[in-house]
Amino acid sequence: MNTRRTLIAALAATLGLAFGLPAAAQTFPTRNVSLVVPFAPGGPTDQIARAVASKMQETLGKPVIVENRPGGGGQIAANAVKQAEADGHTLFVGATEMFAINPTLYRKFSYDPQKDFVPVAGLASTPMILVVPASSPANSVQELVALAKQRTGGLNYASQGPGSLGHMLGELLRTKTGAPLNHVPYKGSAPAMQDLLGGQVDMFFDVGLIAIPQIAGGKIKALGVAAERRAPFLPEARTLTESGVTGMDASVWFAAVARAGTPEVAVTRLNDAINKALASPDIVKRFSDQGMQPLVVTPAQLGTFMRAEASRWTPLVKASGASVE
C-alpha cells in the first residue's frame, strides 16, 4: 500500500505540470474524437468522460463524443477501440477493473491492457463507499454482517457489473467476514443505485459521485469507506478497517488509453487536452464536490501506475476465489 500511496501522490502532484507540445502534434485531430465508455449512461465513468469531453473540445478544436458500450467487463468497449484505426481518434475510457482486475477475474478475456493499448491520460480517483437503503436495519458494518448471517439466504449486494470494483469488494467482504452475500450484477452504477433505492438489493459499494447526493437526501446510509483514511467529503463514515474488516482499501481510478501503435504525437496531444481539462477550475471544483481527485499525469506516469495496480489486484482476485465466465 505504501507503493500505491506514493504513486497516487505522484499523480496528484503533477497538477502543476507544464503543457508543452511538439509542433507536429498540432495537426491532430483531423476529425471527431470518440471516448468509448464500458458502462451505461449516468454512471461515474460516463459522467467523468462527458465532463472531460466538453473541455477537450476547446483544446482540440474538434467535437469529442462519448459512446456507451457496456457489457463483458469492458470487453465490448475495449474491442471496439482495438478494431478502430490506431490514430488516436478513438479512446477507451475505463476504470480500475478494466485495466487491473478483469484480465485475472475472467477465465477467458479478449484483451491485454498492457499489450493492446497505450496509456494516454489519467482522469480521476475516488474511494468506494459501502451504502445501504435508508430503511435498512443495519447502521454499521458489524450490524450488516450480523444481519446477513441471521437472514435466510443472506443479503444481496449490487455491483456495477461482473468484475467491477464493487463486485470485488463484495466478494472480499464475504470472504473476510463469512457473511452470506449474493452478487447481483448491473450494467453500471446508475441502474444498480436505482434498485438499491427501491430496496431490490440490500447493499452496494459505489463512488461518491453517485452516492453522495443520495446520502445527502437521506435516501441511503453510508456504513463505511473502503480507504485507508476517512473521506473528507464523508467524515462521519468509518473506514472498513475501523469497522474491523482489514485489507479492503480500494480507491477506484479512471483513465484513458488508445490502441497500441497510436502515434506518439497523437498521444501527446490527447494527454495535453485531457490534462488541461482536469486542471480547469470548474472541473477541479466539480470533482472535489463529488469526492474525486483529478489525476493529471503524463502517459509514462500512467503506465507505471497501471502496472503497479495490476500487480496489486492480481493476487487479491485469485485469493478471493471469484471468477467470471
Region 132-156: mean pLDDT is 97
| CATH number (domain holding residue 9) | 3.40.190.150
Question: In which band, very low, low, confident or very high, does the pLDDT at 258 lie, cut at 50, 70 and 90?
Answer: very high
**Domain co-membership, 116 together with 139:** no
The verdict on residue 238 lying in a domain is no
The verdict on residue 285 lying in a domain is yes
**Domain co-membership, 119 together with 135:** no
pLDDT tens digits along 35-51: 999 988 988 899 999 99
**Domain co-membership, 265 together with 122:** yes
**Domain co-membership, 116 together with 44:** yes
**Domain co-membership, 158 together with 12:** no
What pLDDT is attached to residue 15? 46
pLDDT at 252 over 50: yes
**Domain co-membership, 150 together with 79:** no
What pLDDT is attached to residue 25? 53
Kind and range of the H or E run holding 5: helix 2-13
Of the chain, the percentage scoring pLDDT greater than 70 comes to 92
pLDDT tens digits along 126-135: 989 999 999 9
**Domain co-membership, 78 together with 214:** no
CA distances to 21, 30, 135, 207, 211 from 290, rounded to whole Å, are: 31, 34, 24, 9, 9
Cβ atoms of residues 102 and 69 within 8 Å: no
Q: Which domain holds residue 143?
A: 127-226
pLDDT tens digits along 77-111: 999 999 999 999 999 999 999 999 999 989 899 99
Q: Domains in the chain: how many in total? A: 2
The answer to whether the Cα torsion of 67, 283, 257, 264 is positive or negative is positive
C-beta atoms surrounding 270 within 10 Å: 27
CA distances to 89, 166, 296, 306 from 149, rounded to whole Å, are: 51, 20, 43, 37
The rounded mean pLDDT for the chain is 90
**Domain co-membership, 113 together with 134:** no
pLDDT tens digits along 176-222: 999 999 999 998 888 999 999 999 999 999 988 889 999 999 999 99
In whole angstroms, what is the distance from residue 227 CA to residue 239 CA? Answer: 6
Identity of the residue numbered 226: A
The verdict on residue 96 lying in a domain is yes
Grid coordinates representing 131? Answer: 451504502
Where does residue 57 rank: exposed (0-12), middle (13-18), buried (19+ CB within 10 A)? middle
**Domain co-membership, 257 together with 222:** no
**Domain co-membership, 86 together with 154:** no
The verdict on residue 51 lying in a domain is yes
**Domain co-membership, 263 together with 273:** yes
The verdict on residue 235 lying in a domain is no
In whole angstroms, what is the distance from residue 262 CA to residue 264 CA? Answer: 6
| CATH number (domain holding residue 139) | 3.40.190.10
What letter would DSSP give residue 239?
Answer: B
What letter would DSSP give residue 101?
Answer: I
The verdict on residue 325 lying in a domain is no
